[in-house]
Amino acid sequence: MTEPDLTPTPRPRVKMKPKSNARAIRHGFPWVYANELVTDRRTKKIAPGSLAVLEDETGARLGLVAVNPESKIIARMLDRDPEAQIDVAWFAARLSRAQDLRAQLYDAPFYRLVHAEADGLPGVVIDRFGAACVVQPNAAWADAHLEALSTALGEVTGCEVILKNAAGRTRSLEGLDDVNAVLKGAAPDAPLPVQMNGATYMADLTGGQKTGLFYDQRDNHAFAARLVAPGAAVLDVFSHVGGFGLAMLAAGAGHATCVDGSAAALDLAQAGAAASGHGDRFTARQGDAFDALAALAAEGAQFDVVVCDPPAFAPAKPALEAGLRAYERIAKLAAPLVKPGGYLGLCSCSHAADLTLFRNASARGIGRGGRRGQLLHTGYAGADHPQMPQLAESGYLKSVFFRLD
């Protein structure tokens, strides 16, 4: 009887083109674009999510990458060691490092646990909600290794529930499905309460947007709360589940109005206000934000603090100019609603619109709205959303707060 051949199959090799930017890869840039890689017949046949050894044009090995011939990001750096084994132990080491950082920063396990490339897990987002984690495997390699990732996540965190969230534009760009799944335990049958900045937020882990809650704005919520005088009237536009509005109520605002296009999100905001003990000082207004801002102006409404936190108007460079015009229009409509001496906060999660472009668009809009202001504060995502210095996309969020004349 012939013994089976247990010799490991050599990993495929992929090579960068001459004059491609291999130096950037050596210095920490995590992506290889399709036009930088030799895509011969052999490379094109590599299954999406497969592992390969990346070489520069001379054949020198640069590290272990995950390959997806169907994506513009054809290779993602996983490990500088070309022989690394991507198994439960490998995932556990990276997850432990990520969790150690968050445990030092936060006194309760409610945070973004993994912020993709910045935490050494390209394309992977994990948000933690106490004993539950929601995983977004937004790259083909992560989908292919989801079982090992989930096992390691349970071991490191002790979480009883692990959910896969497959929503989002990025998965479609990787050729992946949009099917959610329960990876461990049972999905919660009700929204989970999350305490932040003195307020209670209700996170819907199965039916809400993204993972159920946006942790990235936590520090900016806290700054907006500092602007609130006792009894102030505040307006939170594109509020989702009440992010800025509930934080300002917890700081002593007399009344908060939250505007959002999603009735379901506003129901969660209302529930959060009630759970925080402020239900009688909260108003939800459902509808298009641009229309709502115009209607409030027609009604003569004014507020001590107005914050607008829209979705990404410029998710990629082709949408940049239109996105900047939209940010300018938001500022123009919001500025007249701020009482003299009051505050206007404007946010952008568009990585294609850098801080300078966004700040300038906001200032133009304020001027077109007939107001002038002092720029008081520039905010970013919290420390549970670390930035990878070599990757601008990891620093997508910015906020600017003005005091208007």
Residues serving a catalytic function are 349
First to last CA, the chain: 89
Q: How far is CA 390 from CA 117, 287, 318, 394, 397, in A?
A: 10, 39, 22, 9, 16
Q: In the Cβ-directed half-sphere of 233, how many Cα atoms lie within 13 Å?
A: 8
For 324-353, give one letter per residue: b (16+ CB within 10 A) or e: bebbbbbbbbbbbbbeeebbbbbbbbbbbb
CA-closest candidate to residue 306, choices 382, 374, 238: 238
| Amino acid at residue number 199 | A
- The tokens describing 239, both together, are 């509020």
Residue 132 sits at φ, ψ, to 5 deg, of -125, 145
- Contact of 100 with 125, CB cutoff 8 Å: no
> What six digits make up the tokens of 81?
């060691």
